[in-house]
Structure 1
Amino acid sequence: MRPLETATTLRQAGRNPVVPFRIALDDGRVATVKRLLRVLPGKRLVGEAEVGGQTVLAKFFIARRGSARHFEQERDGLAALAAQAIATPRLLGAGTLDSGHYLLTEFLDEAEDLASCWQAALAAHPCDIDAALGVLSPALETLGRMHARGLAQSDLHLGNFLRQRGVLYAIDGDAVRARRPGRPLGAGDALRNLAILLAQLPRDVDARLPALLVDYHAGNPDLSFDPASLRREIARVRSWRLRDYLAKTLRDCTLFHVEQRRDRFVSVVREEAERLAPVVADPDLALAAGSLLKDGGSSTVARIDVGGRKLVIKRYNIKDTAHALSRFWRPSRAWHSWIEAHRLAFLGIATPRPLALIERRFGPLRGRAWLVTDSCDGPHLLQHLDAGSEPPPAEGRALRELFAALHRERISHGDLKATNLLWDQGGVKLIDLDAMRQHASIAAHARAWQKDRARLLRNWPEGCVLRGWFDENVPPATPGPQRRSST
């Protein structure tokens, strides 16, 4: 039998503690952790465990510094929820480890987190978001009741609500703040907290805010919001969340595995890191073994097979010494495409999923770079659409939604050829994002959008039906109503 783990050994195990493991509690019992649900390396572990024959959810706070603070916040937050009659898992035990703390709560067997329920509802009703909104009603009502009783949730997202047998539970006591226990939050605090949740929903939901507020007011009927103020706060939170997410794509974290050495920089979607390890180790070897799609001076592109899965690898070439000198000090085109692809994905705009970025480095200088994405086998629009007729209904709807989203977000593509628009799985996907940009300035976006629009129309002859359709359905280069921060 393996020796008992301690907070120290779990901290040393980093991101990959071996399960199952056993750990002694300060009351003489031993917790047997069967599987881990979340790992913050060196800081916190959450898992399904057995203690005294009972299945529990165990949280271990193992950071060298700050474990006591987070443990106390978690314990006090759960207590605050229970005191205000907000459904939350029962606290079953809490105490100290050798150099950390633990907390045990009831394990909600077969519970679903509301984020998964929401995604399933969207997938079941891809063209009818109203049909999915019912999933959100319990969370909005619960949040309303929290606010009515003086509680706020600083890390508010759908994953912090669990649904089991028709009951919705609020979890993550660490983020619960009892600002006015038993008394309603002020309108400003409640509005800002509600906006955190609403900002994470698709922008299509914005038009349904009145209906969502009906659910919220079911839990907090005495509070009303200024709709304009709420929309401004939602926009501010969305902008902040986007900046925060894009920063994460370039640092080692739960979502991304990042290596930075003097001779190279690598960022890989963490769940893909093991599968892509051979490609990351030698991207040129993977490129040479693939099926060549493009071999130009500026880039070389190939489709590759990784464990039976089709991917695309693109190498951004250095043409000559002058080109190398011009690129040394700037982020590579692969870096820029990596950021922009994640920007589009975050905003719900379709593009092949970005999986890995690899840059050759010479200290602070940058050289050749590679980008790995999911493969998209659909035809581009020159192949798929007939210049003599309007797009079929599905294609027309997808194209209108795509250009409306790009225009609303003040995004310009920079090279809007029809070959960079692919029809795949019932939607339009954007590729070749080297020159893409999200603009802070209304005027700058209008100029760039006009160029994009003109380039798109030039894909088809003047006077043809399809060109006329695009001219009518792609938004004109008119300023939008809001100013957004550049990210």
Structure 2
Amino acid sequence: MKNYIVNINNIPFTLKLQNGDHICAENILRVMPKQRLVIAGTCNDQPIVAKIFLNKNKGARHLQNEMRGITLLQKHNIPTPELYYLGQCADNRYHLIIFKHIQHATTLEEIWRNKTSLDGVTPTLFAIMRELATQHAYGILQHDLHLKNFLIREQIIYTLDGAQIGRMPTPLSKKQSLHAIGLFLSQLGVGIEYYQAMLYQHYAQLRGFLTKQKDFHQLFSQISMHNHSRWLQYQKKIFRTATDFLPIKQRSYQGMVDRHALSPALSGWLKDPESAFSNPSCLMLKKGRSSTVIKITFDRCDYVIKRYNIKNIFHYLRRALRETRASHTWRLSQKLKLCYIPVATPIAYIEKHFFGLRSTSYYVSAYLPETCNQAYCKAHPERITQMLSSLAACNITHDDLKMSNILINQQALPVLIDFDGAQEHTSQQHLQRDLKRSIKRFLKNFEPHSELFQIFENQFKRWF
């Protein structure tokens, strides 16, 4: 149990409870280093989910907080998973709480991430708004409100994470509700302001609130504030052990990998990044002085590996103390993923270190075979402008918007790649300046005064 966060292969493991039963952990659902581990497994052949509190000194308090929230939900007949066991393991090292596993259920986060259209998920989001309105009318407040805290099966919405649930002395006021709903709506990403406004309007009607224009200004101010704080927190997570991420630490390499993408072949490559470039099965996509790009297959999954080369000793000295281009691309790709902007799935990055000095680095992403072309732009100009608008809403500009840097994913949506030169802005003035420059570069993909040039130029004129 001690080294579970170091090696994912420690799953499965078995833990004995004080009552003599054993739980067999089969899958990690969530990891918070030195705090808690959430696993799915079995106990007496029953499917269960267990939350194991790893801090021995604080475990009892965390357990009390969890039970306080669960009791509050049960008291008001709000669906929540059935309690199976509450106590400690046999050696008293860990406190834990076990629930019966609700099988064939889906988290709201999975539903939202896999949506094909907003219309398709609107009934589900309206049902969530009703659930939140009910809880808020009871004075129940989820302090850490996010999409994974809702589990849905057969139109029943289950509320999870009792430790983050509190009780207000009265129903939530309009101001408190704006803060809570702003937190929830911020989880839906950027570029869908009209949809977020519609969901809040539905919530306000359920609560009997009259809505004014200033309410929506306050709502989007809350959403913006929560988006900023969420990214600051998530930015730390993508560079440490977490539910979705695992650090790579070798003698002369370090980096991060998506825990869910790990496979024997990918794990082998992480120990020897150069091996892929001499693999006979790799396909060379680009061979330049500054970077080399290949396509390769690991365990029947296609990946793109981009190696950021060091051209000479002067180039090495300039980059030795800076963030590597692979780390930069990993960070911005994860930000887009957090904001639900389509992106070639980031898999891993590695950078060489020598006495703290950085040199060659590698970035791995999922392979997308289809490149954007003028026919796609003509058929779906609104998808291109929506992508660039969402990018700007994340305070990011792309410095090389040539057609080959726009791919098409399985949902026929445009996806940007090649973020090593992209910029993240803290100033709106700099964002607007670089956005104009990016648009100017994008328009070079078309003949001046052509039909497509005119279509996009007219679209972009509305932005400024």
Instruction: State the TM-score, normalized to the length of structure 1.
Output: 0.84
Matched, 1:50 2:43: yes
> Do the aligned partners of 2:395 and 2:431 also contact (CA within 8 Å) in 1?
yes
Select 2:165's aligned residue among 155, 171, 176. Answer: 176
- 2:133 aligns with 144
Instruction: State the TM-score, normalized to the length of structure 2.
Output: 0.88
CA distance in 2, matches of 1:194, 1:348: 18
Root mean square deviation of aligned Cα = 2.8
- 1:276 aligns with 266
Select 1:455's aligned residue among 432, 438, 441. Answer: 441
- How many angstroms does 1:93 deviate by? 4.0
Select 2:55's aligned residue among 51, 57, 63. Answer: 63
1:241-299 per-position Cα deviation (integer Å, ceiling 9, x unaligned):
12322322222222111134662222111112334112222222202322212111111
1:50-99 per-position Cα deviation (integer Å, ceiling 9, x unaligned):
35x86654433343332112111111110111223322234454223312
CA distance in 2, matches of 1:197, 1:222: 18
> Do the aligned partners of 1:150 and 1:184 also contact (CA within 8 Å) in 2?
yes
> Do the aligned partners of 2:56 and 2:95 also contact (CA within 8 Å) in 1?
no
Unaligned runs of 5+ in 1: 1-9, 479-487
Select 1:103's aligned residue among 97, 120, 138. Answer: 97
Select 2:458's aligned residue among 440, 448, 472. Answer: 472
Query: What does residue range 314-463 of structure 1 map to in structure 2 within 5 Å?
Result: 314-380=306-372, 384-385=373-374, 391-394=377-380, 396-425=381-410, 426-463=412-449
- How many angstroms does 1:47 deviate by? 3.1
Which region of structure 1 is more displaced relative to structure 2, 413-422 or 66-75? 413-422
- How many angstroms does 1:348 deviate by? 3.0
> Do the aligned partners of 1:379 and 1:424 also contact (CA within 8 Å) in 2?
no
- 1:5 aligns with none
Select 1:38's aligned residue among 6, 23, 29. Answer: 29
Amino acid at match of 2:295: R
Secondary structure of the structure 1 residue equivalent to 2:441: helix
CA distance in 2, matches of 1:211, 1:412: 28
- 1:24 aligns with 17
CA distance in 1, matches of 2:325, 2:106: 40
CA distance in 2, matches of 1:356, 1:56: 31
Query: What does residue range 209-224 of structure 1 map to in structure 2 within 5 Å?
Result: 209-217=196-204, 220-221=207-208
CA distance in 1, matches of 2:351, 2:25: 39
- 2:150 aligns with 161
1:208-237 per-position Cα deviation (integer Å, ceiling 9, x unaligned):
345323543466336868221111001111
CA, structure 1 residues 20+184, in 2 after alignment: closer, same or farther (shift >3 Å)?
same
CA, structure 1 residues 431+73, in 2 after alignment: closer, same or farther (shift >3 Å)?
same
CA, structure 1 residues 349+91, in 2 after alignment: closer, same or farther (shift >3 Å)?
closer
CA distance in 1, matches of 2:48, 2:251: 46
> Do the aligned partners of 1:262 and 1:363 also contact (CA within 8 Å) in 2?
no
Query: What does residue range 215-294 of structure 1 map to in structure 2 within 5 Å?
Result: 215-217=202-204, 220-221=207-208, 226-260=215-249, 263-274=252-263, 275-289=265-279, 290-294=282-286
Amino acid at match of 2:397: S
- How many angstroms does 1:328 deviate by? 0.9
- How many angstroms does 1:239 deviate by? 1.6
Secondary structure of the structure 2 residue equivalent to 1:414: coil
CA distance in 1, matches of 2:252, 2:48: 46
Which region of structure 1 is more displaced relative to structure 2, 39-48 or 322-331? 39-48
> Do the aligned partners of 2:293 and 2:306 also contact (CA within 8 Å) in 1?
yes
CA distance in 1, matches of 2:368, 2:190: 25
Unaligned runs of 5+ in 2: none
- How many angstroms does 1:200 deviate by? 0.7
**Count of matched residue pairs:** 452
Secondary structure of the structure 2 residue equivalent to 1:331: coil
CA, structure 1 residues 418+109, in 2 after alignment: closer, same or farther (shift >3 Å)?
closer
CA distance in 2, matches of 1:351, 1:99: 42
1:325-384 per-position Cα deviation (integer Å, ceiling 9, x unaligned):
11111111222222222222223333322211111111221111111111222235xxx3
CA distance in 1, matches of 2:209, 2:402: 53
Query: What does residue range 113-132 of structure 1 map to in structure 2 within 5 Å?
Result: 113-120=107-114, 122-123=115-116, 126=117, 129-132=118-121
- How many angstroms does 1:107 deviate by? 4.0
CA distance in 1, matches of 2:277, 2:99: 50
CA, structure 1 residues 340+90, in 2 after alignment: closer, same or farther (shift >3 Å)?
closer
Select 1:198's aligned residue among 177, 181, 185. Answer: 185
CA distance in 1, matches of 2:240, 2:47: 36
CA distance in 2, matches of 1:163, 1:293: 43
CA distance in 2, matches of 1:62, 1:423: 43
Amino acid at match of 2:420: D
Indicate the structure (1 or 2) with the bigger Cα radius of gyration. Answer: 1
Q: After the TM superposition, which parts of structure 1 deviate over 4 Å for at least 4 consecutive aligned residues?
A: 11-18, 53-57, 222-225
Secondary structure of the structure 2 residue equivalent to 1:203: coil
Which region of structure 1 is more displaced relative to structure 2, 298-307 or 33-42? 33-42
